[in-house]
């Protein structure tokens, strides 16, 4: 059947600022899917040129749009939390999704993308052993995604402790057998703010 789609499930023992563990769902089953976000150069707030965003990782059109949606959401949250922080105006940001040969698409990494952007902007690593999945709307609503069963199995396998799922997927989770649900701290969210308050510390 060929090699598995994602070969290195737990890529990070500890995630640095800008890196978030998401969950993917492929024909091969679920897997951890990291979003890596880094600065292409130090931020120069005195520069009058605008920042930029670059994406790599064999992303399809829907996922590329999801990056742009996530950026607007992250900007809005940073503007609310730190009104004087001009990071997103000036930063030259690169978002990569390993592994580069594996095509990835769909909107379900929305919350993961927002989180990676905020983690980079604030230069803070997020709470470890946390995974997440969910489409993001432009106002921060978290919309349901597919593959809950496969993603929960993957989260257990890679040792995630807390998993954020869209509230509208609650029934998909409830339908799983008990042994799959034990030991995981599942948090259902309907708006990104409910996730954000658990992102750091």
CA 130, CA 198: separation in Å to the nearest integer? Answer: 10
79 binds a second copy (CB under 8 A): yes
In the annotation, is 116 catalytic?
A: no
For the CB of residue 63, give the shortest distance to a second copy in the complex, in Å: 9
13 class by beta-carbon count within 10 Å (0-12 exposed, 13-18 middle, 19+ buried) = exposed
Toward a second copy, which CB reaches closer, 80 or 183?
80
Active site (annotated) includes residue 90: no
Which DSSP string corresponds to 23-75? EEEETTEEEEEEEEEEESS---TT--S--EEEEESSB-HHHHHHHHHHHHHHH
| Least distance in angstroms from the C-beta of 178 to a second copy | 25
Question: Within 94-153, which residues bind a second copy (CB under 8 A)?
Answer: 94-96, 98-101, 106-107, 110, 135, 137-139, 141, 143-144, 146
Rounded to an integer, what distance in angstroms lies between the CA atom of residue 38 and that of residue 116? 9
Q: Which of 111, 124, 117, 134 is nearest to 36 (CA)?
A: 117
Stretch that binds a second copy, among 52-60, 147-155, 156-164, 178-186 (CB under 8 A): 52-60
Bridge partners of residue 22, in order along the sequence? 33, 132
Please give the residue ranges that form the binding site for a second copy (CB under 8 A): 3, 7-8, 11-12, 16, 18-19, 34, 36-42, 54, 56-58, 61-62, 65-66, 68-69, 72, 75-76, 79, 88-89, 94-96, 98-101, 106-107, 110, 135, 137-139, 141, 143-144, 146, 168
- By annotation, the residues acting in catalysis are 108, 151
């Amino acid at each position: 059947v060929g090699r598995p789609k994602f070969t290195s499930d737990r890529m990070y023992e500890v995630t640095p600022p800008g890196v978030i563990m998401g969950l993917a769902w492929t024909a091969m089953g679920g897997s951890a899917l990291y979003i890596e976000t880094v600065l292409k150069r130090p931020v120069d707030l005195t520069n009058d040129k605008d920042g930029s965003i670059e994406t790599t990782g064999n992303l399809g059109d829907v996922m590329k749009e999801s990056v742009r949606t996530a950026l607007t959401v992250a900007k809005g949250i940073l503007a609310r939390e730190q009104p004087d922080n001009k990071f997103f105006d000036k930063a030259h940001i690169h978002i990569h999704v390993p592994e580069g040969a594996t095509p990835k698409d769909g909107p379900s990494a929305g919350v993961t993308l927002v989180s990676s952007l905020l983690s980079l902007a604030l230069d803070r690593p997020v709470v470890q052993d946390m995974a997440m999945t969910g489409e993001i709307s432009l106002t921060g609503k978290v919309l349901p995604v597919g593959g809950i069963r496969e993603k929960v199995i993957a989260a257990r396998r890679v040792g995630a402790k807390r998993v954020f799922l869209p509230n509208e997927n609650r029934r998909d989770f409830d339908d799983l057998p008990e042994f799959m649900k034990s030991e995981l701290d599942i948090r259902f969210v309907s708006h990104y703010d409910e996730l954000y308050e658990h992102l750091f510390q």
